[in-house]
Chains A and B, each alone.
Chain A
């Protein structure tokens, strides 16, 4: 709860309190961004792939109800059972009932941002089930009772020593000092969990309407084990995960891993049509605010997102503030769009966690205009009616802004007023920085430098120069 009550800058300050860790985080993500660039440069058709991906997703969203029905019918043909959930609570109920009816008490899970969004783990744990996250990064944050800080690398905010300490404290691991032996320890721990599991829960990267199949991508092979061993497989997906044709995957799988980690393709891209022999497959399709987002002309394209995390790796704010500073399931630029639109004013600080540099927009594999949307969300905050008494500071800020804009308009309407205002500003500018570091303006100036202001206006300088260069007057 505490995390939500704080704003992004407050949570970022907590992360930045450990300067060495923050530097490591920044460098690690920038390195992944660099690897992405290398893999991208190898493909002459990269920009065409992005354009195709954007068009395929825009088309699928435009005809989403038809594709959902087609997917449902085809998935059923293969023997899968398809469920729909309006919201997180309904999703959790459906999954729990499936498990309860079959007497399941041990579940292995592969990474799914949707189940994080729905809070499935605590929901099942409160009802007495053992739920083990099997992606190594997810396992680490699960053992620490933390949310993932990144959608592709859930434990990127942690160091090796943190992981060693976590394994020792929660799993009784011996002292281990390097990633290799820690991963080996987790392999042994999780293999026993896989072999004992009665059900596997996975996310879905893509769902193919024309075939009724689902695609799940991992590097560890944990989703594949969770689908191959237990007799019950529950796949949870947001309704935006559809693509029309199997051939569309040629575009998306070429984009996904290159954008995410700088790999040509993930180690495992599983294509599942129906349950394993003797098993059951249940696909839960979740809305949870997605259909409402589809109605937003300016933000619909956010539903194209394939959760590669490239916008996070490249974002100068994310790299320096850490994923937990966003207080959302999906952090970073895309999360700063999704959370305020779906969950409202509690996330008002997120669209401001952005320099508008546009790097996210430039590399998004499905061409979401992320930074434009963040700017639009800032504008929307200014236009939203106030819940007056509860937001006195925002009301004051708006009044100040209105007054300021009116004053600026008045100044700009007259050249002489502009010249005098300029002179006043230059005079103030030489004295103000010191003043502004104290008092109410300090929140702004503490992290920003005012550039040195010139002695004269451009017009004055230009006139003097003309006078110097042609002393007998201009022709």
Chain B
């Protein structure tokens, strides 16, 4: 018998008491101002929030210090094109200074944003770039993770790689001292426009 069949039949031979699957519903935490809470949570996660309007988005992005200092910048956001195209191969992101990409939704509770199909073409770049800038529309904020999964719905299973990303890469593995920029980006700015 194959390992698969042996394991499954061993599990089926065990008589376990029934246990119902609960509905995930009810009242969750509510925030009076989603963008305020989002900013607070993001800062706690060592990220930063920059506010903008739709019209000024290009200007606001161009004024970010990491963008101004960047030698190599790749952007998926039409308001501020970078100076290089996304490479075809994941390793091509190795020398990137700044990546600018659109985020699909943001979670006020934690300061996390969802990157799915909108960032698929720069997936390796999200982690190889030295600095990451994400652009998010204020109307795409949801209060908590339950709202995020509800919004994603069936799209989740169609997304080959999707990630809730919260702040820059970090580690506290040496004496619990927080170090920002473990493997991935050394900084993360979310530009929230309305």
Contact = CB atoms under 8 A, between A and B. Distances in A.
A and B together in one complex: yes
Interface of A: 24, 28, 31-32, 42-45, 48, 52, 55-56, 58-59, 61-62, 64-65, 68-69, 72, 74, 78, 83-86, 90, 134-137, 140, 153-156, 158-160, 163, 178-180, 182-184, 187, 190-191, 194-195, 210-213, 219-222, 224-225, 227-229, 239, 244, 246-251, 253-254, 261, 263-277, 285, 287, 291, 294-295, 300
B6 A86 contact: yes
Nearest to A58: B19
Shortest 5 CB-CB contacts between residues of A and residues of B: A221-B184, A137-B173, A264-B110, A220-B182, A211-B157
Contacts of B14: 291, 294-295
A229 B6 contact: no
Given A68-B8, A134-B183, A269 B112 contact: yes
B193 interface: no
Contacts of A253: 145, 164
A247 B144 CA distance: 12
B170 interface: yes
B16 A265 contact: no
Given A187-B183, A195-B94, A64 B11 contact: yes
B32 interface: no
B48 to A, nearest CB: 14
A155 B149 contact: no
B179 A180 contact: yes
Interface size class of B (residues with CB under 8 A): 35 or more
A160 to B, nearest CB: 5
A272 B161 contact: yes
A246 B149 contact: yes
Given A52-B22, A64-B11, A225-B184, A254 B174 contact: no
27 contacts: A43-B29, A55-B19, A55-B21, A55-B22, A68-B8, A78-B157, A84-B4, A86-B7, A136-B173, A155-B174, A178-B177, A221-B182, A221-B185, A224-B126, A228-B124, A229-B91, A250-B24, A253-B145, A254-B144, A263-B166, A265-B112, A269-B163, A269-B166, A271-B159, A271-B162, A271-B164, A276-B160
B164 A268 contact: yes
Contacts of B149: 246-247, 249-250
Contacts of B7: 68, 84, 86, 239, 285, 287, 291
A351 B163 CA distance: 39
A246 B148 contact: no
Contacts of B55: none
Nearest to B46: A267
Contact of A59 (B21, B27, B146, B173): B21
Nearest to A90: B3
B65 interface: no
B82 interface: no
B175 interface: yes
B90 A228 contact: yes
A431 B165 CA distance: 65
B161 A271 contact: yes
B145 A270 contact: no
A32 B110 CA distance: 18
Given A228-B127, A264-B111, A85 B3 contact: yes
A45 B167 CA distance: 24
B172 to A, nearest CB: 7
B168 interface: yes
Given A219-B171, A228-B126, 13 more contacts: A52-B22, A55-B20, A65-B8, A68-B7, A68-B8, A78-B160, A84-B3, A155-B173, A183-B174, A246-B156, A254-B109, A272-B161, A287-B10
A269 to B, nearest CB: 4
A163 B111 CA distance: 32
